[in-house]
Amino acid sequence: MKKIILLFSLSLFLSCNTSTNKEPEAKQTNNTEKQQDSVANFGIVIHGGAGTILKENMSDSLEQEYKAKLEEAIKVGHKILANGGTAIEAVQRTINIMENSPLFNAGKGAVFTNEGKNELDASIMDGQTLNAGAVSGVTTVKNPINLAWEVMGNSEHVMLSGKGAEQFAKERGLEIVDPGYFYTENRFKSLERLKAKNTKKTELDHDGKTAFVDPFIKDSKFGTVGCAALDKNGNLAAGTSTGGMTNKKWGRIGDAPIIGAGTYANNKTAAISATGWGEFFIRGVVAYDISALMEYKKMSLAQAAKEVIQKKNPELGGSGGIIAIDHQGNVSMEFNTAGMYRAKMNKNGKLEIGIYKN
């Protein structure tokens, strides 16, 4: 069945590509907006990570860089959707833009592990079929979200890890890079800063929480990326890609590659991608919990997202946020941190970008 779905997706992609040449502008005139009201609903929403993102710590030029990259990324997905492409294709291509930017903790720009490596995780889910793919701990695959998509479409599995996942990536012909590709000076300095603090932590073990949490919040949650989309056929998809935590050890896996925690999509409810302190998102089964509240308690997406992110997640001790879109095109960008890089775009091309709390 997976193969049939893949062929179907590919044919949609191809038919979408044939119409790509028209290249409609994302932002429409008023007249065109009126015309589009009769067009099937679609929309897209993205995040670039949540954490202690404060205006006083951000230069104007860096803020502009983030906003420009968020806009570039979301417009790629929006164009695919506008041309009749699939939600899952839009999710993948949008995430690629953020993975390829050093601004975000995913792909190029991923944070460093304790051993000074970049180990990448990603997952993707199709709300129509509940098919899903995920990878953890890959070090040589340029775009982990593409590998997650390959796992979904071209393996009997949902989740692959480490060297084995890299072998599968090679067999599928994905772009392989030298691990050095992922090096960025900023992220490496973050590791060095954190390691210096960790020495202190060993001396003050009882005070470990302060030493652990502070730099983690300030550095590591700044960049997980994610996308959720609704296409013109009413299909939902979500994806998440990350480098995880700076200074992570012991092959730590966070919520990003966990279906139900970091990523979930179901045409009945919504497509959701999470970002934040991964351990608490796993324990709270955050992405699926939002879907379950919608399906079983008949909450709206906004209510469900608020319940999980503003109540359940902080009560457990966690922090972070989600972006989501439901089957009617309603969007949520809910977070309990100081900021979350985020953007949304509806069928009329109306674009909203945010970084801090409103």
Residues that bind a copy of itself (CB under 8 A): 1, 125, 130-132, 136-137, 155-165, 167-168, 212, 248-254, 258-261, 264, 278-279, 282-285, 288-289, 292-293, 296-297, 316-317
C-alpha angle 90/175/229, rounded to 5°? 10
Q: How far is CA 31 from CA 81, 84, 230, in A?
A: 20, 21, 24
Q: Phi and psi for 349 in degrees, rounded to 5?
A: 80, 10
Residue 60: partners with Cβ closer than 8 Å, 6 or more residues away: none
Closer by beta carbon to a copy of itself, 101 or else 336: 336
Q: Phi and psi for 325 in degrees, rounded to 5?
A: -135, 135
CA distance 93 to 77: 6
Closest distance between a copy of itself and the C-beta of residue 245, in Å?
9
Closer by beta carbon to a copy of itself, 23 or else 171: 171
Structure token digits, residue 100: 């390829």
Query: Would you call 224 a catalytic residue per the annotation?
Result: yes
Closest distance between a copy of itself and the C-beta of residue 317, in Å?
6
Closest distance between a copy of itself and the C-beta of residue 134, in Å?
8
Closer by beta carbon to a copy of itself, 217 or else 345: 217
Closer by beta carbon to a copy of itself, 82 or else 125: 125
Number of Cβ within 10 Å of residue 190's Cβ equals: 21
CA distance 310 to 306: 5
Number of Cβ within 10 Å of residue 21's Cβ equals: 7
Closest distance between a copy of itself and the C-beta of residue 289, in Å?
7
With H, G, I as helix, E, B as strand and everything else as coil, classify residue 225: strand
Closest distance between a copy of itself and the C-beta of residue 356, in Å?
27
| Residue in 86, 224, 269, 275 annotated catalytic | 224
Residue 79: partners with Cβ closer than 8 Å, 6 or more residues away: 20, 23, 24, 26
- Residue 295, CB half-sphere, CA atoms under 13 Å: how many? 13
Closer by beta carbon to a copy of itself, 48 or else 244: 244
Closest distance between a copy of itself and the C-beta of residue 60, in Å?
35
CA distance 92 to 173: 17
Closer by beta carbon to a copy of itself, 168 or else 182: 168
Structure token digits, residue 43: 């929309």
Q: Which residues pair with 342 in a beta bridge?
A: 47, 354
Closer by beta carbon to a copy of itself, 24 or else 317: 317
Candidates 129, 155, 133; CA nearest to 144 is: 133
Closest distance between a copy of itself and the C-beta of residue 232, in Å?
24
Candidates 177, 175, 134; CA nearest to 153 is: 134
Positions annotated as catalytic residues are 224
